[in-house]
Structure 1
Amino acid sequence: MLVFLGLPLALFAVFVVWPFVQAIYYSMTDWTGFTPDMSFVGLDNYQKLLHDDVFMKAVRNNLLLAVVVPLVTVVLSFALATMITVGGASYGQTRGLRFSSFYRVISFFPYTVPAIIIGLIWAQMYDPSSGLLNGLLTGVGLDRFDSFPWLGDTTTAMPASMFVIIWGFVGFYMVLFVAAIKGIPSEFYDAARIDGAGRFRIAWSITIPLIRDTIQTAYIYLGILALDAFVYMAALNPGGGPANSTLVMPQRLLDTAFAKGQFGLASAMGVVMAIATLAFAAIVFTVNRLVGRRERTVAR
């Protein structure tokens, strides 16, 4: 077994663990990125980050994304997957809605488009003067949206950006949940319907517990995406939005490293991102384990 695991572990150590260790070291230096000279400064870079209002704003934006995007995406994806698989007629054989295959194809389509393309398309749709969204809204009589700056207003820039990310991933995770739900024996649903359970009760008591691991995986991946979100935000608002309302940590990191030549400080930002990602995954794992343990206790 060691023979088979040796090479993968070696590759993992070289290409994953070692760069992370290097990043931690560089984060404690004043490296400019363009010369081999660097001085060890300890935790000074991390102290600078704590007093960097722009970076802290980016951290708050990423945390907001990590709370909203996974939750909304998972809920919508699960609701759509439930309708497609078991949301059909409440009598007879358990089945989904009619034309469910067509819905799966249509909803999955956005995921096949590269993230940068999605961001650029929606940036054009949000355009105040020639965007399709304002044109449709004013066309139905909502004149207050004439030349409305969706990405240029502090109250709408972040929600509009979140919508784009959610729109791009709902279809993929819906298909993921559809595959998981189809693995549940239909007898469970038939028995629950005979006992008089409604759709919400069936989803809460049968579907969610039986696909909990899939939901956990989806939530973690979406959280990791939200704690990055660089491609979407860079395409929608390259400058970070009005008053940095859509600025995310990778954007600040890129500017710090390549525009200001402060690679040591940028490495500290990268370490903070890695810690935030690991902490998010640990929280999701812990909550899922506690909820699953409580359900098993109640079932006994």
Structure 2
Amino acid sequence: MSFAETLMAEIAAAGGISVHDYMQRSNAHYYATRDPLGAAGDFTTAPEISQMFGELIGAWAADLWLRAGTPTPLRLVELGPGRGTLMRDLLRAAGQVPGFAEAAEVHMVETSPVLRRAQAAAVPSAVHHDGIADVPTGAPTLFIANEFLDALPVQQQVETAAGWQERMVMAQEGGTLAFTPAGDRIRERACAAEALVGEVAARLAADGGAALFIDYGYAGGEEGDTLQAVRAHETVDPLACPGEADVTVHVDFAAVARAAELAGCRAHGPVSQVAFLSSLGLGLRAETLMRGKDEAARTAVAEAARRLSAPDAMGALFKVLGIAAPDWPAPGGLPEESQ
């Protein structure tokens, strides 16, 4: 049987599973079996749009390393690195700062064998791990996570006449899936994202360092169903094709910021992606890349910068949150305290 058939049979036998478990099972299969990025895949992330994205994060990392006193070694850890494009561009930019390349030890947390191969080709020096707990401790660390938290499973509850009840996924006749119970008012709790950020923050509080989380989401306080799925660059029903679409939610940045603070770190932000990238010099970097190029190349750079920063593209929906160890400087491009 296919994965979808197997999962549906298990759901039918169990009488239903939680949205959390459905999302976890579906995404585990999805990411383990494909490269979902690019025109031939299901979606495109910021590092794949332009080298400028990774380069600016490289400048961010090098600046923070310098202001922290150039600790050596520096563990540079990316969570869910995609094809390794962001880290490759980050290292190229940060490596221009004397001493950074020698100090940095690159680690990637990735479970997909397909994506690990792409990452190894992009960054041959990277050491792979199945989870954060496998990354060596005992040295200051910079964590980078771009479009990672959104794919972690959430718990959903529905308001019913009997009170709030967990939203479930059940099998129907005809081999389809449906949500139950019915209800218009839904709330989410990003338990997995909160736990992961808390784990990162505890590591930083012990060893020093900072983390950068970039994702689509909201500042906090919103309520509603944000569960969504994308396949072949089109929005699809999250229950229509288990394991064959990218199932995600909007990140509750206020909740993950609180998790970081409870684990002993300072939270900085969130701010919009346009504010963050602009403060790091997106406009100047675009101008530099355009210099001496023909009109087609200049247009391509300008369009990439627009996609990264325009409010009707990624600029407003995507947010950036930084967390830092108590004795580390505030990360660049972010406010001194959480918003």
TM-score band, normalised by shorter chain: under 0.3
Q: Name which structure has the greater RCO, CA cutoff 8 Å, separation 6+.
A: 1
Which protein shows a greater Rg?
1
TM-score after normalising by structure 2: 0.20
The structure carrying a bigger strand percent of its residues is 2
TM-score after normalising by structure 1: 0.22
